[in-house]
Structure 1
Amino acid sequence: MLEAKKAIVAGLIVLGIGALGGTAYALCGQSGKAEPKGTSYAVENAAQGAATSPNAHQYRAQTRATDPSQQPTTGTGQGTEAPTAPVDSAPATSQEGDVAMVAHIGALNDPDLDLAKMLTYAIQDEYIAHAEYTKILETYGTVNPFANIREAEAQHIALLTPLLEKYGVPVPDRASISAYVSVPPSLRDAALTGVQAEIDNIAMYDRFLSDPTLPADVRDAFLKLKSASTNHLAAFERAAARY
């Protein structure tokens, strides 16, 4: 009988130790240092989104100043995502490695503007806008407002070209701006790029128009171009909200 009681007590001790071990394991699992996967995944993706989400300013700066690395292949599809392709041109920089002073970049940063520079920067910006919207149409198909605004950019170039010729300013080669043209990866990003492009364009003409020595015909042209950009800005803002 005594041996039986000892066996029962031993069994109870073993069960107690097992229960305590299970409790300790459960507590350890509840208070462990590792974050729940759902939380860490959300935080990680939020951080990645903040780092990689495209915006109009980034595209405007990269496309027109430094790096055409987002350039996709051309096509006629109607989708909202652009196909990708390897980079086929080098970043556009000055000999010192700085951002190239062209188009609105030059217009807004050049400390020594004169009439020749203004006309050159202006037509470069219109060249780039026309080429960029052409690439967008080739990638996504004929969609507005890009189609309509592309035609307007052609009219802007036609307005500026005679002024450069009249004032003895060499007309820039349109092919020289190809390195500044790229296409964002979706129609919404393309619309946001258009928004920033028109904001930059308006700022450029505002700076030009602040010069009291502008010839009357040049001032008139700049006023018309600024007004057109204001209309284009509203169209791109509506498009960005729609996509």
Structure 2
Amino acid sequence: MSEKLKSALIEAINDEYKSRAAYNAVINKFGEIRPFINIVEAEGRHVEALLSLFAKYNIDIPEDDWNSRIDTPTSILDACQLGVRDEIENAEMYDRLLDLTIDYPDVQQVLKNLQRASKENHLPAFQRCVERGGAREDGGNRTGRKKGNNRKGLGQRGQCLK
């Protein structure tokens, strides 16, 4: 196991910890609103996918102390704008980390899956939230979830599907 791999995985999990803590802070302040309730669950799955790599390569898992390090946005719109910025930065981070882990195809696959979820799912959801001015989506109940909303989980070998 290389130092590059260790650094890449630590950076990745800290970024996922940070996003999960930020989105949880929004939920704690404003209630169970979309897209935050959906994406915070996905961030948890991202952490789990990375933890499997920490175990495989016998790397010590960094402490998740992000809940104490997050400043909660003052409005839902601010939170959505923060989500857009965070997801863009997340995708850019994965470009860098993919370059560092080229010798590890299994790591590459997980990182590509996490990057894809960020670019194709999370970013568009936050962009829609910004376009709505932070207003709740129509058709949702108190939690912002529509009836019959099914979520995808992890596929084989820790591959994130959402």
Fold agreement, TM-score > 0.5: yes
Q: Secondary structure at the match of 1:169?
A: coil
Q: Secondary structure at the match of 1:210?
A: helix
- Return the alpha-carbon distance in structure 2 between the equivalents of residues 197 and 140 of structure 1: 19
Tell me the equivalent position of 2:98: 209
Mapped pair 1:218 → 2:107: yes
Question: Would you say the 8 A contact 1:126–1:157 is kept in 2?
Answer: yes
Cα RMSD (Å) of the superposition? 1.3
Q: Secondary structure at the match of 2:124?
A: helix
Of 82, 100, 117, the residue aligned with 1:228 is 117
Instruction: Give the TM-score normalised by structure 1.
Output: 0.52
Aligned-pair CA distance for 1:212: 6.1
Aligned-pair CA distance for 1:179: 3.9
Residue-by-residue CA offset, 1:162-187 (whole Å, 9 max, x unaligned): 1012112110111x223431211100
Aligned-pair CA distance for 1:213: 3.1
Tell me the equivalent position of 2:25: 135
- Quick one: structure 1 residues 211 and 172, their matched pair in 2 at CA, closer, same or farther if it must change by over 3 Å? closer
The code of the aligned residue for 1:213 comes to I
The code of the aligned residue for 1:177 comes to W
Question: Would you say the 8 A contact 1:119–1:160 is kept in 2?
Answer: yes
Question: Would you say the 8 A contact 1:115–1:214 is kept in 2?
Answer: no
**Structure 2 unaligned regions, length at least 5:** 134-162
Tell me the equivalent position of 1:185: 74
**Structure 1 unaligned regions, length at least 5:** 1-112
Question: Would you say the 8 A contact 1:130–1:150 is kept in 2?
Answer: yes
Computing the radius of gyration from Cα coordinates, the structure with the larger value is 1
Q: Secondary structure at the match of 2:62?
A: coil
Runs of 4+ in 1 over 4 A off after TM superposition: none
Question: Would you say the 8 A contact 1:132–1:183 is kept in 2?
Answer: yes
Question: Would you say the 8 A contact 2:5–2:100 is kept in 1?
Answer: no
1:7-22 matches, within 5 Å, as: none
Residue-by-residue CA offset, 1:96-142 (whole Å, 9 max, x unaligned): xxxxxxxxxxxxxxxxx710010001001111111111110010011
- Return the alpha-carbon distance in structure 1 between the equivalents of residues 131 and 46 of structure 2: 26
Instruction: Give the TM-score normalised by structure 2.
Output: 0.76
- Quick one: structure 1 residues 212 and 121, their matched pair in 2 at CA, closer, same or farther if it must change by over 3 Å? closer
Aligned-pair CA distance for 1:236: 0.3
Tell me the equivalent position of 2:151: none
Tell me the equivalent position of 2:54: 164
Q: Secondary structure at the match of 1:223?
A: helix
Question: Would you say the 8 A contact 2:22–2:70 is kept in 1?
Answer: yes
Aligned-pair CA distance for 1:218: 0.2
Q: Report the count of equivalent residues.
A: 130
